[in-house]
Structures are given as C-alpha cells and as structure tokens.
Amino acid sequence: MVLPEFEYKKANSIAEAVALYKGYKGKAKYLAGGTDLVPLVKLRLSAPKAVIDLKGIKELKTISRGDGWLSIGANVTLFDLKNDPAIKGYFPALYESLDATSCETLQMRGTIGGNILQDTRCLEYNQSLQWRTARGFCFKMGGKTCNVVQGAKACFANYCSDNAPALITLSAQAKLAGPKGARTVKLENLFTGDGKKPLALEEGEMLVQIQIPLKKTKGAYEKLRIRDSMDYPLVGVAVSVAGTKARACIGGVGLVPRVYDLKNVNDAAVREAAEKAYAEAKPVANATLTPAYRKKMVGVLLKRAFNKALQEGK
C-alpha cells in the first residue's frame, strides 16, 4: 500500500519539535519508530500534513538513574530497554512484556514512547479505506454506529500495548512537554476511555520520559496471542509484587488498561483479584479470538502470572 504525500521535518530538540508542531496547527504527527503510525497513514486512518521526526533528539534516547528513579527516554527502543540490566534485575514484569512484544526486528525499531502511545485496534477499523467505505464508518472514524456491537453508544476498540500494563504495575509516571509547558502524570491517567481520542494528551504534547521508582520487584507478564513468533496481545496480564503489596494490570481488552491493587498478596487475594478482573472484562467480537475465550483467559492469566512471580526466589 502506497503512502500519501506529507511533509517530513526532523527536530533536534524538544522545543524545536513542539514549535514545528505548532506551525502545523494540529495537522502534524510526531514520528518515532513509525511501526504504528506508518501503517495507519497507509490505511488512510491518519492523514497528517507533516510528520515531525523525533529520532534526532538525543535526550529522548537516554536511560538514567537518580533520586530513586529509573528515567527512560521516550525514544529508547524496546530492544535496548529490554537489554538494560536494570530491567531484568529490578522489573521482571517489564522485561517479560518487552520480550513478548512482537518480534526482535520490531523491537529494534519500535520505541517505548510509541508503544505506549499506539492507537487502539479493532478488526473493523484497521482496514483499508475501500473496505471501511463499503462497510460504513463507525464511531472511531467519525460515524454514528459501532460495526461490532449493534446499538452500542461507544467504541470497544482494544488498547494493545504489551508494555503499558507492565509499567503501570510498577507505578510508572509519564513526563510530558507541550505548547502549554511540562507536566508529569501517573501512567494509568493517560487513558481517556474515549474511542475517538483514547489518550489524554493535550494538542502537540510530547512524551519525554517514563519514570519508574527504582525498587526491586518480583513480577511476570502473561500474554494470549495466536502466533508466538509475533502478534498483538488478545489479553495481556502484568503483575508486580513489592513486599506484601502487589499490583496487576490487564491490557488487550477494551480501551483502557485495568488496574487491581492487592494490599496483602496471598492465595485468597489472588483468587479474588482474578474473579474481579474476569467479571469486569468486557471483550467484544473485534479481535481474532472469541469474546468468551478472551474473557475466561483474563482470570486464568492473572493467576498464572502471580504463580510465576511468587515462585521467584523460592
């Protein structure tokens, strides 16, 4: 499929990127590895007048430690992050989610920032313009219906980042910069639950860094997918345990990663969290496995991830 025409701009600093964006009055897109954006542009699901390449910005590519945090630049590739010794040593849930993301070729191109900011997905959405025109435009494309759930009032597309759930279990925060200045938000607050605009970013706002409290954790990531060699999650469950406390996060089902905090990790608390996560998961028929199976696997994978995480160090 051929790309449409757009202007290509390369920024060398955050300030330059934001200034370039402002010049295009909302009609530009930031570009990191391009593995999410370029297919969307090819499918005419995104039509930027310009793309602003962030790959020349050095400070977006560093990983540093200080003041009790690990700070990861948004443009660090998934592969480089996976191979940083701090990740395997401190954050096993994140190591496993990075390792489970697509394949190593994609990990070498795709960045952690682009991974978190990827668009939501649906079998009725990620299609060519001709296919979608024949079917009729749904809510997410500016239409008046959902093509998956008859009579629905909102979109049920799936947020498929493997790594955002793992980062959320680690209480990560996102450092942002944009035309209105800088701010830092908890990663779980970056999601709106609105299919048309799933991410709570202001116009022209960039993700600069992900910051994780630098404390050792136990953890695991369990992923349901069709092809183990390379596939998006149909359900992704991350768990991280620090002392007696634990956090689980479910991705791949619906617009927003769902968080479950356990004050005291024991068999009963894990069973309760699995039952709650199962009850609250509402998959619909917009991915390659049935909703009933995906729903069941939410509870199964949550228990499996805890079993694995708690085995560590025994």
Ligand X SMILES: Cc1cc2nc3c(=O)[nH]c(=O)nc-3n(C[C@H](O)[C@H](O)[C@H](O)COP(=O)(O)OP(=O)(O)OC[C@H]3O[C@@H](n4cnc5c(N)ncnc54)[C@H](O)[C@@H]3O)c2cc1C
The footprint of ligand SF4 (CB under 6 A) covers 122, 124-125, 138-140, 146-148, 155-157, 195, 286
- CA–CA distance, 249 with 119 (Å, rounded to integer): 19
- Rounded distance between C-alpha atoms, residue 261 and residue 185, angstroms: 19
Distance CA 98, CA 92 (A): 10
Contacting ligand X (CB under 6 A), which of 87, 94, 98, 115? 115
Q: Which does 148 bind (CB under 5 to 8 A by kind): ligand SF4, ligand X, none?
A: ligand SF4
* Three-state helix/strand/coil letters over 241-291: EECCEEEEEEECCCCCCEEEEECCCCHHHHHHHHHHHHHHCCCCCCCCCCH
For residue 158, give the nearest of 251, 288, 36 by alpha carbon.
Answer: 251
What residue type is 173 in one-letter code? Answer: Q
CB atoms within 10 A of CB 227: 9
Residue 265 CB, shortest distance to ligand X, in Å, is 26
| Shortest reach from residue 284's CB to ligand SF4, in Å | 7
Site string for ligand X, 52-91 (x = CB under 6 A): --x-------------------x---x-------------
Residue 206, interface with ligand X (CB under 6 A)? Answer: yes
Cβ proximity to ligand SF4, 56 vs 291, nearer residue:
291
Question: Taking CB under 6 A as the rule, which mask of x and - marks residues 85-104 in contact with ligand X?
Answer: ----------------xx--
Rg of the Cα trace of the chain? 19
Residue 204 engages ligand X in binding (rule: CB under 6 A): no
By beta-carbon proximity to ligand SF4, the closer residue of 140 and 308 is 140
Of 71, 118, 126, 158, the one binding ligand X by CB under 6 A: 118
Which helix (H) or strand (E) segment holds residue 86: the answer is: helix 85-90
Beta strand spans in 32-106 (E): 50-53, 63-66, 69-73
Closest CB 3 distance from ligand SF4, rounded Å = 22
For residue 217, the minimal CB distance to ligand X (Å) is 21
**Measured from the CB of residue 283, what is the shortest distance to ligand X in angstroms?**
17
Sheet holding 245-251, edge to edge: 218-224, 235-242, 245-251, 258-262
Q: Which is nearer to ligand SF4, 21 or 125 (CB)?
A: 125
DSSP 202: P
Interface ranges with ligand X (CB under 6 A):
29-37, 39, 54, 74, 78, 101-102, 106, 109-111, 113-115, 117-118, 160-162, 206-207, 230-232
